[in-house]
């Protein structure tokens, strides 16, 4: 049996200068759209986790683009259906938000075991489409920061 996940993760909002946001549809939950997410492995920095997850889920090398730590942390309850992945008794996860600015809606290669499809949407539509409140909040923050 694989090791339990650490209840610390990253959320990476991938976006363009004109605020198109990349969303991925979860393979294990069709209809659930999200930005890149993933748990931190032992010994990794959060930046390393963000870079690894972007590569695994999109094929993009984050080091070739503008990856920034937004210094936002969210704590949320782990969905019951996914708690088996964590140590017994763990019910909450701490998520760290990053942004990855890319030059345009560039082609990606999705990880078939994790995602069914991808789409680039204007930030307002992306914020409405994601299933996670923290993902929607991060996308809205991106839009409001760029508008001011």
For 8-147, give the CATH class.
alpha beta
Instruction: Report pLDDT for 147.
Output: 52
Instruction: Report pLDDT for 105.
Output: 81
Q: Was 109 annotated as part of a binding site?
A: no
- For tokens 């409140």, name the residue: 133
Q: Was 132 annotated as part of a binding site?
A: yes
Alpha carbons 142 and 147: distance in angstroms, whole number: 9
pLDDT above 80 (res 72) = yes
Instruction: Report pLDDT for 145.
Output: 80
Instruction: Report pLDDT for 148.
Output: 45
Closest CA to 140 of 54, 46, 132: 132
The CA-to-CA distance between both ends of the chain, in Å, stands at: 49
- pLDDT tier at 82 (50, 70, 90 boundaries)? confident
Q: Was 134 annotated as part of a binding site?
A: no
Q: Was 39 annotated as part of a binding site?
A: no
What average pLDDT score do residues 61-74 get? 97
At 75, give phi and psi (nearest 5°). Answer: -115, 135
Q: Was 26 annotated as part of a binding site?
A: yes
What average pLDDT score do residues 61-82 get? 95
- The answer to whether the Cα torsion of 86, 22, 63, 46 is positive or negative is negative
Q: Is residue 94 within 8 Å of 74, Cβ to Cβ?
A: yes
What are the structural domain ranges in the chain? 8-147
Q: Was 5 annotated as part of a binding site?
A: yes
Closest CA to 73 of 2, 117, 138: 138
Structure tokens at 107: 């082609």
- pLDDT tier at 30 (50, 70, 90 boundaries)? very high
Q: Was 114 annotated as part of a binding site?
A: yes
pLDDT digits (tens, 9 = 90+) for 85-136: 999 999 999 999 999 999 988 899 999 899 999 999 999 999 999 999 999 9
């Amino acid at each position: 049996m694989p090791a339990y996940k650490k209840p610390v993760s990253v959320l990476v909002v991938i976006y363009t200068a004109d605020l198109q946001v990349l969303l991925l549809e979860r393979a294990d939950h069709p209809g659930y759209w999200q930005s890149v997410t993933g748990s931190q492995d032992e010994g990794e920095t959060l930046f390393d986790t963000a870079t690894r997850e972007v590569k695994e889920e999109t094929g993009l090398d984050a080091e070739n683009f503008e990856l920034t730590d937004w210094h936002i942390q969210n704590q949320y309850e782990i969905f019951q259906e996914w708690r088996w992945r964590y140590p017994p008794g763990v019910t909450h996860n701490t998520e760290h938000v990053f942004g990855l600015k890319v030059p345009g809606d560039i082609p990606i290669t999705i990880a078939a075991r994790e995602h069914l499809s991808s789409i680039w949407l204007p930030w307002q539509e992306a914020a409405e489409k994601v299933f996670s409140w923290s993902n929607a909040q991060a996308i809205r923050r991106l839009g409001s920061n760029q508008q001011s």
